[in-house]
Structure 1
Amino acid sequence: MARFWNRWTGRSKTSQSTHKKRDKTRKSPRRRLKSETLETRQLLAANLFHNELIPEDTNEDGVVSAIDALTIINEINRQTRGGDVATGDGGQVEDRGRGRMTDVNNDGRDTALDALMVINRLHRERNGGFNPVQKPETPNEDPTGDLGTEVRSVDGTGNNLETPELGSADTALIRIAENDYADGISEPAGEDRPSAREISNTVSAAAPDGTTNERDLSSFVFIWGQFLDHDIDLSLQPANEADEIAFDIEVPTGDPLFDPAGTGEETIHLTRSDIAEGTGTSIDTPAEQVNAITAWVDGSQVYGSTQTVADSLREFEGGRMLMSDDGLLPTDDNGNVLAGDIRASENIALTSMHALFIREHNRLADEISAANPDLTDEEIYQQAREIVIAELQSITYNEFLPALLGEDALAEYEGYDSSVDPSIANEFSTAAFRFGHTTLNDTIGFYGNDGLDVEDAISLADAFFNSSLLEETGIDSILKSGASTLSQETDLEVVDSLRNFLFGQPGSGGFDLVSLNIQRGRDHGLADFNSVREAIGLEAYDSFDQITSDVELQGKLETLYGDVNNIDLWVGLLAEDHAEGSSLGETSTLIIADQFERLRDGDRFYYENTMTSSEIREIENTTLADIIERNTTNTSLQSNVFFFTPTIAGTVTTDTPVVEQVANQQRGRQDRGNDRRSRGSNDIRQSTVGVEGVTLELLDSEGDVVDTVITNSDGNYEFDSFDRSGEYQVRVASSNEITSVNSDSIDLLVSSGDSHLKNVDFSVMV
């Protein structure tokens, strides 16, 4: 597989650090990828020292064995101490010479890492690692069945060799805390709590202008968050309508949107989630909901979680997947999009992400096929699939999670651990990872490479199940918009499109997503907020003011719940003050970090466990921005699309007379007796100095003032509060102290999150 590695991206990037010590700061982004010819990449990929197909075969006997690791150890000993060569099982180890065959990772040194790579390969081969597979006889034949080699299964089974069902589709969710069912078996929790809609109306109504993210997270925090969520969890309603159980949400009498007539009889419909067979029968076997898809970060939203779905998305030629002529998702005879996940058409940003990764798969497949024409369709498909999954994993762990939770929220990866249960926790999927609903903006824009609108924005409500719109707009402008706008703050506030007009007008299909989240938690029997805190090792809160420093919110929570030990989990998680360096509270941060650590550590096929060091570097030097740019016409994305941090900076100066005292003294000695007034005039010059305390205004394209700053003692200023790309103006605010300005205003273009406009200077007279 390594022979194809450097052809996968078609680009090159220099790594500034090892994969264990990545520079993830926003201020020091990694160097952008540059296009190169395929021939150049082939030369760079060539291994001049040993067998490039099996670099771990240091003695070139055709197999990888413990003797290869011993060969490396001998070479290290020879270089450090000299002397005799150790032997393996009684035989001599061939003397290959300094640093020739034993430099497995081709870094120019013989180290313990080279020996470890041999050991890891032995472990992978004994436990099933990636090898090319043959094309199945028929499209529905399982390509991993009897081929003697192993690829990641579509349904998630077989990842854990001791417990093959772990992480697979259609297995039960697990719990962090004990259930809180009213009867301890299956009856919904929260019977003594207010209506979910009443809670929504009280704490989740959003301000008209919203509250943008305080840590400069872009809209990709929810775009990727939803795309990722649809890779790892899905709770369904019962397959048979006869088995459905309603759990409707009471609407408060006179609710202005859902009960405007004041009947007191309106409800918001909810059907209870399906539960695992054999559960919900007694206190010893309480109801446990089912995860209908694979838990792994394995691209199941792209490829599917069943073989039937996976096959239905393939061309079965050249390893490619089905795609429309204009690069969008394929559709069935009724115009419904076909994708690995049934939720792909929920909104146009999500659908765009699905289309993006189908393009990426096909781009990779075409490159692999062109470089290796003898490979079968199945071999090409599986190799491209493995790379895409690795990219999804790397973006999640190296970009998305550090952006959301902070750099050090997750423990360092220490390798595969078969004792780890990767299963999705109910508290994670039904509460903590639903934070994204609070971060969505009320509109979706369409931006060009210059950061300006190419289409009129549409309301989020109009973006639901409207994938046909992409036939007019394409995906490029939507993805550019996602990178070029700030998300909403992660808090309890949710925009109207989700809280009042989800999927339609109230009474005509409309829902309240906040109410649904709260009610779904009760349906699943989630424990209250404090109980979950204690279950993950945190201390319970004694009062509402310990949860949040927002005095108004403290009062609302106390009015709604009365008891700090009775708060719905979703509400408590989002009410909690943010942890240091995180955009979420302490409890959410720990729940999400725990889940993704388990998904990583318990995944035998996780990319850092199966790929070589050079392959890992290649994957980790491929950002989401890179994938977007090489599959669309976008060319002006910031290096890290999860942050939007443009700046405009400059200096305000004035000319002021300055007396040159030294020159004046010297001239005084030479011109004694001359007219004093004349001598003084010769010693004064004009000097430019910064002006402190000048107010500057930032105006948007509509001419509205969106921010103000004041110059410091050196006359310097900086604007760093932008909620989107576009055209801006900077001007000096009118003041009695300022009599004139060299320019009324300066027009500027902020095209991306990496726009840092400097030397936007003004000269004034004071």
Structure 2
Amino acid sequence: MTTHRRAPRRSPAGYRTSLPWRIITGAAQYVDRRIGWDRLPVPAGLLTLFGLRVRLRQKNLYDTGGLPAADEPEPAPPSASHQVNRTADGSHNDLGEPRMGMAGTRFGRNIPLEAIAPAAPEDVLSAPSPREVSRTLLTRDGLVPAESVNSLVAAWLQFMIRDWFSHGTSPADRPWEVPLLDDDPWPEHPMKIMRTPDDPTRDPHAPAGTPDTRVNVSSHWWDASQIYGKSESEQHQLRTGELGRLHLWDGEQPPVPADPAQDPARVPGFWLGLAMMQDLFTREHNAICDHLHGAYPSWSDEELFQRARLINSALLAKIHTVEWTPAVISHPTTVKALRANWWGIAEERVHNLLGRISDSEVISGIPGGETDHYGVPYALTEEFVAVYRMHPLIRDDWHLRAVADDTSLRHCTLRDISGPGALKFLETTEMADLLYSFGTLHPGLVTLHNFPRFLQEFERPDGFLQDLAATDILRSRELGVPRYNEFRRLLRLKPAGSFTELAHDPAWAGQIERLYDGDIEKVDLMVGLYAEKLPPGFAFSDTAFRIFILMASRRLNSDRFFTTHYTPEVYSKAGMAWIDDNSMVTVLLRHHPELRTALSGLTNAFVPWHSAAPKET
């Protein structure tokens, strides 16, 4: 066993802290608190967001890797292939620190390590219990729709999350026992919620009071591991061994091993939306391979696979940056800011004509720029995980319709299209019809009283019954994520001074106040996020958005395959053109041209599609 300790690193004190930068960041924070970035004209709003991002980089990146550790995952020895290929486990992305961001390494934090609350029963199970929060504040009576987007946003988000993070399989022993009220219909009293797995790298001799840590069993990088697997053995099972291609769901060989325990349909959280995205971008990988084979016929199966993986991963990152996120936070300022993350303020047209015209990420975007960790080893954070708990996006009821003429195919529930049952829909329903149905149905708004009922009584494939709303509340407490007001303070936001200030709906304010016995400091982060008044065009809260301001760009800035190695020499000239020339709309139409009418004239596939119903004469 090896044990090490290096000094934990946080946002560097010297990162842009000269007087001009202090003036910029101080002015941004002042204007944001006094006026609000979303109330400013777009140019002023962009400047404010820019200043806020710099301040967040200075103050809200904390490294857990320096805490006492033992038995950390060891990357494979360096090889020439690491220069140009992503590894299956995420190692060797940073060639100087090959362990950085690899599967099995710790989550970082966006809060000071001393602010991490201990995972003690009196904190995790304190009143109100997670179950009472679920029943009183989260239960959906009827869908509150997010009318500016379609239900592909929910499918896409879970597809991305499967790439980004997972705490792993919970142990069956020592569950949290959540006390229930006598009138609670839950079949077992107390309710049992499995614990998050312990950190296997934690030094058993760490001093008392050492902050709690957990590991990410996925790689922290944006590398499409949900398509390509998290290990060499998984990757081998998914590949056909010919022309770089992957097995398809409906191919002659299944894309999963015969062992039912490894069947993705039996992994908690599997549902039709996830299967649809998995299928679409597996097909996209194969299309990229075919394109590369035509351009470079001498390339081997391995070379085709590795280049296609890089291209597909970058296309996913581009779609998320300039399409998905602007759709769910469609304020004019954020749309402009997110597009600037990819192309800079010079915008797409200049990029397409001239490429990068500046080394500055502000002018020419992050891809192709310099790699920058901002003085803190890259890792996704527990706070990032917490604000991405957006189950209300998912509908309970689904009306599947035909893309040809909008005729009804069947009504079903989320229960019907979850777990192994999801694969039956892929076998019995045309994929174009499924995509059309999702594209013309609104998802839910991320708000109180809008949690899918099915997920409050979710039966996992192993038979364990789970209230995911209660679990989401408990997870943030268990992982030491601060309660709502303290979370805002640590992001330099004004805490809510009253329940009416916290919740935009007076009735909700009263419900929250009663449930939390008038103690606003106890309000859980998720409750506060869901209760907030949303900025115009937003499907989730402004407080959550602060973490996105920081982490959305960091995932690109820290990854050399999006920065210094985002070049034709690594991706190929044909590969770079593929990324530039494609979007979610073109991906959908390439594999399902039947969607052309429904997508006609749309530049963002995550906004509501056109109906295929015949027009009345």
TM-score interval, normalised by the smaller of the two chains? 0.7 to 0.9
1:211 corresponds in structure 2 to: 144
Name whichever of 418-427 and 530-539 sits farther off: 418-427
Name whichever of 604-613 and 362-371 sits farther off: 604-613
3-state SS, counterpart of residue 615 of structure 2 = strand
1:273 corresponds in structure 2 to: 197
In the alignment, structure 1 residue 223 sits paired with structure 2 residue 177: no
1:462 corresponds in structure 2 to: 416
1:553 corresponds in structure 2 to: 508
Conservation of the 8 A alpha-carbon contact between 2:101 and 2:378: yes
Q: Deviations over 1:121-156 (max 9, x none)?
A: xxxxxxxxxxxxxxxxxxxx9898345852122211
Kindly tell me: are residues 324 and 441 of structure 1, through their superposed partners in 2, closer, same or farther at Cα, counting changes over 3 Å? closer
1:600 corresponds in structure 2 to: 556
Unpaired runs of 5+ in structure 2? 1-74, 343-360, 362-368
In the alignment, structure 1 residue 641 sits paired with structure 2 residue 574: no
2:592 corresponds in structure 1 to: 632
1:518 corresponds in structure 2 to: 473
3-state SS, counterpart of residue 226 of structure 1 = helix
3-state SS, counterpart of residue 416 of structure 2 = helix
3-state SS, counterpart of residue 455 of structure 1 = strand
Q: Distance in 2 between matches of 1:251 and 1:453?
A: 45
Residue identity opposite 2:442 in structure 1: L
Q: Distance in 1 between matches of 2:546 and 2:115?
A: 24
3-state SS, counterpart of residue 479 of structure 1 = helix
3-state SS, counterpart of residue 412 of structure 2 = strand
3-state SS, counterpart of residue 389 of structure 2 = helix
Residue identity opposite 1:748 in structure 2: K
2:383 corresponds in structure 1 to: 427
Residue identity opposite 1:529 in structure 2: Y
Kindly tell me: are residues 275 and 451 of structure 1, through their superposed partners in 2, closer, same or farther at Cα, counting changes over 3 Å? farther
1:622 corresponds in structure 2 to: 582
Q: Show the 5 A alignment for 1:134-213.
A: 145-147=79-81, 149-178=83-112, 184=118, 189-208=123-142, 210-213=143-146
3-state SS, counterpart of residue 380 of structure 1 = helix
1:7 corresponds in structure 2 to: none
1:106 corresponds in structure 2 to: none
Q: CA deviation at 1:494?
A: 3.1
Q: Deviations over 1:667-720 (max 9, x none)?
A: xxxxxxxxxxxxxxxxxxxxxxxxxxxxxxxxxxxxxxxxxxxxxxxxxxxxxx
In the alignment, structure 1 residue 319 sits paired with structure 2 residue 319: no
3-state SS, counterpart of residue 456 of structure 1 = strand
Residue identity opposite 1:295 in structure 2: H
Unpaired runs of 5+ in structure 1? 1-140, 647-724, 728-746, 750-759, 761-766
In the alignment, structure 1 residue 384 sits paired with structure 2 residue 308: yes
Return the TM-score normalized by structure 1: 0.60
3-state SS, counterpart of residue 461 of structure 1 = coil
Name whichever of 364-373 and 306-315 sits farther off: 364-373
Kindly tell me: are residues 335 and 607 of structure 1, through their superposed partners in 2, closer, same or farther at Cα, counting changes over 3 Å? farther
1:54 corresponds in structure 2 to: none
Q: CA deviation at 1:276?
A: 4.4
Q: Distance in 2 between matches of 1:148 and 1:295?
A: 17
Residue identity opposite 1:211 in structure 2: V
1:302 corresponds in structure 2 to: 227
Q: Distance in 2 between matches of 1:305 and 1:392?
A: 17
Q: Distance in 2 between matches of 1:359 and 1:327?
A: 15
Kindly report the root-mean-square deviation, in angstroms, between the aligned alpha carbons of the 2 structures: 3.2
Q: CA deviation at 1:624?
A: 1.2
Q: CA deviation at 1:232?
A: 0.5
Q: Distance in 1 between matches of 2:294 and 2:431?
A: 27
In the alignment, structure 1 residue 567 sits paired with structure 2 residue 526: no
Q: Deviations over 1:340-359 (max 9, x none)?
A: x9849710110121111111
Q: Distance in 2 between matches of 1:245 and 1:180?
A: 26
Q: CA deviation at 1:572?
A: 1.3
In the alignment, structure 1 residue 234 sits paired with structure 2 residue 166: yes
Q: Distance in 2 between matches of 1:622 and 1:540?
A: 42
3-state SS, counterpart of residue 189 of structure 1 = helix
In the alignment, structure 1 residue 395 sits paired with structure 2 residue 319: yes
Residue identity opposite 1:391 in structure 2: L
In the alignment, structure 1 residue 439 sits paired with structure 2 residue 371: no
Match of 1:250 among 141, 154, 179: 179
Conservation of the 8 A alpha-carbon contact between 2:116 and 2:211: no
Q: Distance in 1 between matches of 2:320 and 2:553?
A: 11
Q: Distance in 2 between matches of 1:608 and 1:222?
A: 32
Conservation of the 8 A alpha-carbon contact between 2:439 and 2:609: no
Name whichever of 487-496 and 354-363 sits farther off: 487-496
Q: CA deviation at 1:196?
A: 0.9
Q: Distance in 1 between matches of 2:203 and 2:119?
A: 9
Conservation of the 8 A alpha-carbon contact between 1:461 and 1:504: no
3-state SS, counterpart of residue 328 of structure 2 = helix
Report which of the two has the higher share of strand: 1
Q: CA deviation at 1:618?
A: 4.3
Kindly tell me: are residues 633 and 248 of structure 1, through their superposed partners in 2, closer, same or farther at Cα, counting changes over 3 Å? farther
1:748 corresponds in structure 2 to: 615
Conservation of the 8 A alpha-carbon contact between 1:189 and 1:526: no
Which structure ranks higher in relative contact order (CA pairs < 8 Å, sequence separation ≥ 6)? 2
Q: Deviations over 1:80-122 (max 9, x none)?
A: xxxxxxxxxxxxxxxxxxxxxxxxxxxxxxxxxxxxxxxxxxx
Q: Show the 5 A alignment for 1:535-554.
A: 535-554=490-509
Q: CA deviation at 1:585?
A: 1.6
Q: CA deviation at 1:495?
A: 4.5
3-state SS, counterpart of residue 594 of structure 2 = coil
1:700 corresponds in structure 2 to: none
Q: CA deviation at 1:177?
A: 2.4
3-state SS, counterpart of residue 341 of structure 2 = coil
Residue identity opposite 2:605 in structure 1: V
Q: CA deviation at 1:510?
A: 3.3
Q: Distance in 2 between matches of 1:551 and 1:313?
A: 52
Q: Distance in 2 between matches of 1:582 and 1:617?
A: 32
2:67 corresponds in structure 1 to: none
1:45 corresponds in structure 2 to: none
Q: Bigger radius of gyration, 1 or 2?
A: 1
Residue identity opposite 2:145 in structure 1: T
Return the TM-score normalized by structure 2: 0.73
Q: Distance in 2 between matches of 1:504 and 1:343?
A: 8
Q: Deviations over 1:561-619 (max 9, x none)?
A: 22111111111111111124422222111112322111111111017961359965642
Q: Distance in 2 between matches of 1:559 and 1:180?
A: 30
Q: Distance in 2 between matches of 1:532 and 1:183?
A: 12
Residue identity opposite 2:108 in structure 1: I
Q: Distance in 1 between matches of 2:127 and 2:557?
A: 38
Conservation of the 8 A alpha-carbon contact between 2:436 and 2:595: no
3-state SS, counterpart of residue 635 of structure 1 = helix
Residue identity opposite 1:627 in structure 2: V
2:217 corresponds in structure 1 to: 292
Name whichever of 570-579 and 281-290 sits farther off: 281-290
1:744 corresponds in structure 2 to: none
Q: Show the 5 A alignment for 1:647-686.
A: none
Kindly tell me: are residues 188 and 156 of structure 1, through their superposed partners in 2, closer, same or farther at Cα, counting changes over 3 Å? farther
Q: Distance in 2 between matches of 1:326 and 1:147?
A: 30
Identity of aligned residues (%): 25
Kindly tell me: are residues 332 and 156 of structure 1, through their superposed partners in 2, closer, same or farther at Cα, counting changes over 3 Å? closer
Kindly tell me: are residues 317 and 508 of structure 1, through their superposed partners in 2, closer, same or farther at Cα, counting changes over 3 Å? closer
